[in-house]
Every structure is written in C-alpha cells, then in structure tokens.
Amino acid sequence: MFRLRDSANYLAAFLIILAVNFFLPRLMPGDPLTAIYGEEALVHMTPDAQEELIQRFALDRSLGEQFLEYCSALLRGDLGYSYYFNDTVSAVVFRAVPWTLLLVGTAILISALAGSIAGMESGWRRGKRTDRALLAGIMFLEGFPDFFIGMIMLIVFGVVLKVLPLAGAMTPYAGYTGLALVQDILRHLILPASSLALVNLGGTFLLARNTMVSILGESYIFTARAKGLRERVVSYRHAGRNSLFPVITHIGIQFGRMVTGALFIETVFSYPGLGLLIQKGLQARDYPLLQGVFLVVTVTVLVTNLFVEVLYKKIDPRLRPCISTTGRKLETTV
Amino acid sequence: MLSLKNLSVRYGKNLILNNVSFTLHRGESLVLIGESGTGKTTLAKSIIGLGDGSYSGDVRYRGQNLLAMDPEEMARIRWNRIAMVFQNVESALNPLFNILEQVAEPMIEHGLHSPREARSKAGDLLKKVGLSTAHFLLYPHQLSGGQKQRALIAMALANDPEVLILDEPTSALDPVTKEEIIQLLREIRKKCTLLALTHDLAAASRLADRTAVLYGGRIVETGPTGTLLSDPGHPYTRGLIRSYPDINGTKDLQGIPGRLSRPKRGCPFEPRCTQGIDVCKEAVPELRETGKETRRMVACHRGGIVPLLKTCELSAAFGRVRALNRAGITVFEGETVALVGESGSGKTTLARTVMGLQRQCEGEVYLEGVLVGKRGRDFYRKVQMIYQNPAESISHRQNVLEAVSEPLEIHRIGSPAEKKEIVKRVLDEVELPSDDEFLKIYPHHLSGGEAQRVAIARALVLEPKLLIADEPTSALDPSVQAKILKLFLNLQEKRGLGIIFITHDIALARKVSDRIVVLKDGYIIEDGPTGAVISSPGHPYTRRLLAAAPALPYGLGKGVPSYTDKCLSM
C-alpha cells in the first residue's frame, strides 16, 4: 500500500527541513547569551560561567560543527536546554504539544466537518436561499482576523456572560481529578477551539461548495439521479464523496499551518500551547527552544501529509494499484 | 406503454423540442435518429424527468403523466420501470465505486433485495452482459470503453425495467465492440420496450423496428426502419443517409447544406432544404401519411422528396428502328440517376426524348407531376442539358459572356448589367474566373475542362431543377473529369439539383449516382440503388458491364504488410 519510495521522499524532506531549522535562527542578528541574560547580567557574569555556557552550546565552534553537535544530540533525544525556562527543551516543548494538538485537533475537526457539510449542502442547493445565506455568512466571518474573533468571543462569553473561563487550559491548583478534570479542560477548550474553527471554516466551506458544484455537472451524478436514488444518497454518496478530495488536501495543509498559526488565538486565550511557546522563544531569542518547536511542527506537518496520502489511497480507488483491489493480476478478457 | 403527446421543452427562449409525439407499445422498439443538437438527449432526459427547462405536453407511462408526478413517485418509476443507458460512457459511472456495487445499488436503494442478494444478482447481470467475474470488483478507470458500456447496460437492467432508453449506446465504441453491444441490445430487446437515440444509422437499423427522424426538435419522418433508410421520404433523412459512411455506399459522401438553426416559424428544415416553396417559410408541416406505405409519415409540405421527372412507357423510333422501348424512369429532387449502357443502347435517345429534341412515339413525360406536352420556355427553365463535346456545343462566334447569358436573353431575364452579374455569379459557382477579361474570351481559347465548365455555367444560369448531362466528361482527361464531377456533386448538395448522368463508364456512374439505370437495345434491363446494382447485379449484361469497367490492377492484395506472415508463423 505505502511503498518505500514514498517514504524516501518524506525522509529527504525531513533532512532538508532539519538543516533549514538549524541554520535559520543562527542567521538572526543578536547574541543568544545577551538575549537570555540581558546586558547587565552578562557584565556581572564570571568569564568561567560564560565560557561554560558557550562550551555547552558549542557556540565557539564553526557552524558545521554546531550542526553535527545538534544532530547527534537530537539522536539522543536531547533538544538542548532552554535558558528562559531553565529546563530541557524537550520537556518544555512536550508540555505544550498536547495542548496544541488538543486545541488544533478539535478546531480542525469542527471546521472540517462543519465546513464540508455546509459546503456540500450549499453546493447541492446552489443559488437557493440556504446557499446564499450560508455563503454570505461564512464570507463575513472569513473577513475577520483570528485574534479579533477570539477577542470578541472572549468578551461576549467570558466577560459579559461570564459562562466560560477567560484564560488558560485548566483551572490551576483546583486539584480536579477524573471526570471533573475532563470537564474543566473542555470548558477551557470551547472558546479557543471554536474561534480557531470559525476562522478556518471559510476555506473548507468554499472549497467543498465549489467542488460540489462542479461535481454535480458530472454524468455519473445524472446516472445516480436517473437510478431513482434518494437525494441524500445522491448528494452524499455520489457527489459528496467525490468532492471530498480537494477538501482533504486542504485540511491536511491547514493542519500544519494551524499548529503554528494558533499563536494568536493561544496568546489571546493564554493557552499554553506551542504558539505561546514560540512567542516567548522569539522574544527571548531562545534558539534551542525555537528549534525544538520548529522541529516538532515540521514533523507534525510531515506526518499529516503522510496521513493524507494514505487516506487518499483508502478512499480513491484510482490511486490504488490494480493488484490490491482484485487480489490478482488482470486478465485480458472481452 | 409509453406515449409522448405534444411534448415541448424550452430552455429560456430556445425551443428544444417542439410538439414531439409518439407511442411505444409493449415490446416495441423505436429509434430516434438525428444530428447532435436536434434534441435527442433532451428528449431522453425529459422522459426520465431529469431535464431542466420548461415543459408542456404529456409524457405518459401506462396512462400516468410523468411530467405531473411528484418527485417521490417519479423516483419510484425511475429505474424500476424506465431505465436508461447513458451516452457518456467515460463518465457515466462513479469513479469511486466498483461496478458490482454500482449495479447492485439501485436494487438495494429501491428496496428490492437485501445487499447480499442484490450483489449476487448484480453479478449475474454482469455475467449476462459479457463481463467475467474478474471484472466485477474493478473500478471504472480500470475498464475499457466497451466494458464500461456493458456495465452500464447491466446497471440499466438491474431493476427489470419495462422501458429501456438508450442514449447513443454505441457512438463511442470501435466497430467490433459496437457490433457486440448491438448483439447484446438485440437480445435485450426481446424483453424490454426499447427507445434508442442515435446518430449512427447502422446501429439504428439494427436496433429497432421503427425509426423516427428528429430535426430541430420535431419529428420529421417516421416509418419502419428498413424502408425508411432504404427509401427516405424527407430530404433531411436523405441528407443523413448521404453523409453516413456506409460500406455498401459508392457515391461520395455529401453533407447537408447550411447548419442547424431553429427558425421561429415554418418548417424547421426550410433554411437547409433545397425544394422549399413559399408555404414552407410560413407554416409548420404536420406529420402525414405518405402514399408510399402504411405507417410511413413525413412532415413536409411537399409530401417528402419530390419526384422531379417521371417517364412512363416512353418510346422513340428512327424510322422502323425502335431506339427506346417503353422506358420508365423517375428522378427525384437532388438525386443523380446514371443511365448506363454501351453506345447504341438508347441512353442519348432517352435524354433527347425527354428534352423534346426527339419525337416520342408513345408514352408520357411528367415534370413535377405535370404532364409535359410541347416543351416551352417553362420546361427549359427547369430542365437543361449538357453535351459531350463542349467545343461543339458552344458557338464559336460567342464569347463566354454571350454564351452563358444567352439563356437569359431567351427568357428575357434582367437588364444587361444584371445579366452580367448573374453570369459572374454562375461562373464563380463553376469555379471559373469571372473577371471582365475572361468574359471576352472565345471558346477556341479555352481548354476542354474550361469549355465544359462554361457549358455547365450556361446550363445553370437559369437555375434549373434537373440537369441532363450526356457524357459530360468523356472528352476530358481524368483529373479534369474528377474536378467536374466534384462540381456536380457540390451543386447537387447546395441546390438540390436532380441529375440524369449518361455514361458508358459504370465505374464513373458508381461514384456519382444514387441510382443506376442500365439500358440495352432500347430497353431498361436494370434499375436500382447504385450500391445494390454494383454489388449484386441482376442482369447478365450488367455483370458484363461491370467486368469490363476500368480497374487498376495495382494495389489490390497489398493491404497486408509482408512481415505479418513471419509474425503469424512464430
């Protein structure tokens, strides 16, 4: 099903991104030590301590050696040490990753489901009132930047109505366990996830709608209708399934972008995910942290792509090799 | 079973179907033929209730009007009662499902069978249409066009429909596959009522007992398939047949002049018709029985293709020698009849007698149904003749302008300036230069081909309906002859010219004529469609003529490349 040649592509992409990931922050102006400890701290710092830090990150050696050092550390699962958080990067990053995955995953799930269903329905009823209402409404939402929607949600539900928490991913020091904990986390999730979903709904909706409209002109849709099938069956089984492909691609791309793109939303809601981490890392020029985050994001994107590719082969028989569908080689008959 | 009554379909301002009516009884088969754009697919779609556009009229299935039915009832009729095989083989199947699923789907969705039963029944159907079990689980992109067509047919048969609509069932297929599919459909025809829509005449002839010809959204001719195709009544039908590459046809392909248009009033075919009269522009002709046979209907104000010239028992004699004996020929509008025979067989006598240059001793000549007595100007306006030797038929004292405009002179048509205009136009038509210099040339300065063209121009200047050409090309070399013959055929296509083509060369007759009349010793011994006369001559004399016909001995048997022997033996 999934051949070695395809994985080789992913490996190559991974290595290239690794290199870019390493070199890019090094090219930024400024000195990491200065950035972390500030000018004054450095003045008071003993030359020994400074020397030790430089040694630790191999900052005195050539870029190539730094890169090798970086790679070998990576193999050991060591992403470096964050000056800012005073902890290993892997620990910091992996504390943030679950939250981002939860947030982005939920948002994607909502926007993909709602977007493609609304898109298909809209396309099916092209030109009718439902279609025009949906189109206008979603285009209106699409016009706002994500943090703006987040802020409005925050003000409406958090400040005015006071039904949902203002910030964070869970109530700190509440000591919830079990179901109460899950409930708490969900309550914190609702606002950021729905803001993120709303922002990303438009693209999926438009794509699903447009594909649906063009698919409806295909002969096999006419066949399906002529067969006397119910409308649901025609619109979902025949037209819907065929219009999903570009939507899936779109969602795959969206996912990778959202992992970092959630930055604004995470900032607005102080959600302790990767976005917030990137923001802090950037402010402090915390190279190891940034590299760690970027690496995780890269891997996420690659894994998503791989997943989409496998999914494609699952639902589109045209991408499957013949043998896997019939179990035997084709004979020439008729 | 299925009847359409005055069905009209309109897309915006365009009337796509206009008062189409027909009835299909149980077990009958009907094929609708017509060019693309004549409304075939629209018709199919409106029967199954999936057309867009506004409707009027009735589509009745077992007495129920399908057009007035609510969507749920209609959904029950679809596929259970009326199923369809689609035109667009390449995309009529959903790419995401294997064919077994797609064939089984209507049975499951209509609640006829459980999914398991439906699949096994779908398998049976696929087998029945000639697909092996190895193909059942294949997806459309893995199948050839013929296999997809078979799958579509199996799918159409899934719910045991009573009426099967076939929209261009064979047009996308290669001839061998086409033949197999037609065989299959002929099998199916025994159980279903069949309505086929196609532009493929050969397929039509094998699919249905009855044929209706659709033009401009109207039925212009109906009748039993066999006779309709062998003896078309409507000029449009004949045009379709003439442009169809038939393996038995010998005449060059001819098209139909003009292109499809939908005139606001009058006969839809009028703008392309060569035998139109005033009423054709005004009123729409109704389908009417013709005298030809029962169940044969033609929608034409002139009752179909007009017989231009008819001779009955025509005889002529030179003293005691009977040169022509009771000859009866008919020439229809836009048709070429070749008179073939050795010299002295009476061909020229027949032509001259028709022209009134030779006294007839018995028999009658009818022109457009009217008995011709003394030939006057009216007769010669409609019938003109061209002779074998152009150099002799044009007076050497007349230049081109004078020669060509002489008939206008005689019929007192136009002022001198108008005459010159007409002459120039006709010279253009026969592909001669029409500048003033050429108009002043005398015949002895013209080449043989040019002189014959001038003679043709002279014959055409009065816009006759019938042209009698007596060996018009036998004095010319073959390349000039080929051009002149092409000219004749083009004129015929454009103006609907009836031509009596006299020749002793049966090979030539074969290329230009619709019918061949063979004469011997003043008697007509054979008269039939050219293809039939050539492929199965009835009279020994015709066979002798054919055997003596010019043929190049080269090229035959060289169709097979020499290396195939080797390949086959390996």
Q: pLDDT tens for residues B9-29?
A: 888 878 888 888 899 988 889
Please say if the pLDDT value at position B555 is more than 80. no
Considering the domain boundaries, does residue B201 fall inside one? yes
pLDDT score recorded for residue A118 = 93
Phi then psi for residue A250, to 5 deg, are: -60, -45
In angstroms, the CA A67 to CA A52 distance is 19
Q: What is the pLDDT of residue B259?
A: 80
The beta-carbon neighbor of A219 closest among B91, B134, B138 is B91
> Is B147 within a domain?
no
Range name among A38-47, A160-169, B165-174, B304-313 with the lowest pLDDT average: A38-47
In terms of CA atoms, which chain A residue is nearest residue B74? A228
Most B-contacting residue of A211, A214, A218, A220 (CB-CB within 10 A), to test interface: A220
Tokens matching residue A334: 């008729």
Domain of residue B27 covers 2-81+161-298
Question: B450 and B527: one domain?
Answer: yes
Residue B170 domain-assigned (yes or no): yes
Q: Is residue B461 part of a domain?
A: yes
In a domain, B132, yes or no: no
Claim to verify: residue A76 and residue A219 sit in the same structural domain: no
Rounded distance, CA A158 to CA B513, Å?
93
Q: Distance from B105 to chain A by nearest Cα, in Å? A: 9
Instruction: Tell me whether residue B12 is in a domain.
Output: yes
Whether A124 and A101 share a structural domain: yes
CA distances from B447 to A12, B390, B391, B491, B503 (A): 79, 10, 9, 22, 22
Q: How far apart are CA B226 and CA A212, in angstroms?
A: 46
B354 and B213 belong to one structural domain: no
**Percent of chain B clearing pLDDT 70 (strictly above):** 96
Each residue of B98-126: pLDDT tens digit? Answer: 999 999 999 999 989 999 999 999 999 99
Same domain, B214 and B67: yes
- Identify whether residues B221 and B250 lie together within a single domain: yes
Q: Determine the average pLDDT of the residues in B305-320.
A: 88
pLDDT value, residue B331: 93
From the candidates B43, B80, B96, which should be mutated to test the interface with A, based on the most A CB atoms within 10 A? B96
CB-based contact A8:A15 (threshold 8 Å): no
The answer to whether the Cβ–Cβ distance between B94 and A225 falls below 8 Å is no
Q: Is residue A180 part of a domain?
A: yes
Using CB atoms within 10 A of its CB, is residue B353 exposed (0-12), middle (13-18) or buried (19+)? Answer: buried
Q: Identify whether A118 is part of a domain.
A: yes
**A223–chain B nearest CA distance, Å:** 6
- Tell me if A318 and B141 make a contact (CB, 8 A cut-off): yes
Q: Assess whether A153 and A24 both reside in one domain.
A: no
Partner-chain contact B96 A242, CB within 8 Å: yes
Three-state DSSP class for residue B124 = helix
Indicate the residue among B267, B298, B329 that finishes a domain: B298
Neighbour count for residue A157 (Cβ, 10 Å): 17
Q: Is the pLDDT of residue B557 over 70?
A: no
- pLDDT score, position A42: 60
Are A17 and A47 members of one domain?
Answer: yes
- The list of chain A residues with pLDDT below 50 reads 1, 36, 323-334
Secondary structure (DSSP) of A211-267 = HHHHHHTSHHHHHHHHTT--HHIIIIIIIIHHHHHHHHHHHHHHHHHHHHHTHHHHH
Which pLDDT value is given to residue A32?
55
Q: Are residues A129 and A244 in the same domain?
A: yes
Contact between B78 and A315 using a beta-carbon 8 Å cutoff: no
Q: Are residues A245 and A125 in the same domain?
A: yes
Q: How many structural domains does chain B have? A: 2
Residues B188-210: what's their mean pLDDT?
90
Cα distances from B175 to residues B51, B151, B203, B248, in angstroms, run 31, 18, 10, 16
The domain containing residue A77 runs over which residues? 4-88
Which site among B108, B109, B155 would you substitute to test the A interface, given the most A Cβ atoms closer than 10 Å to its Cβ? B109
* Final residue belonging to a domain, choices A50, A68, A88: A88
Q: Which residues of A touch B135 (CB under 8 A)?
A: 333-334
Looking at the structure, tell me whether residues A292 and A313 fall in a common domain: yes
Of A226, A241, A331, the CB nearest to B134: A331
* Per-residue tokens: A296: 């995780």
Interface contact flag, A330 B48, Cβ < 8 Å? no
Predicted TM-score of the model (pTM)? 0.78
A128 and A178 part of one domain: yes
Listed residues A88, A103, A127: the one ending a domain: A88
If asked whether residues A22 and A155 sit together in one domain, one would say no
Measure the CA dihedral A208/A213/A218/A222, to 10°: 110
Please judge whether B141 and A233 are an interchain contact, meaning their C-beta atoms are less than 8 angstroms apart: no
In a domain, A194, yes or no: yes
CATH number at residue B487: 3.40.50.300
Contact B411, B462 (CB under 8 A): yes
- Tell me which chain B residues have a C-beta less than 8 angstroms from the C-beta of A229: 75, 105-106, 109
Which pLDDT does position A326 carry in this prediction? 46
Cβ-based contacts of B101 with chain A (< 8 Å):
none
Would you state the structure tokens that stand for residue B255, as one six-digit string?
């098209």
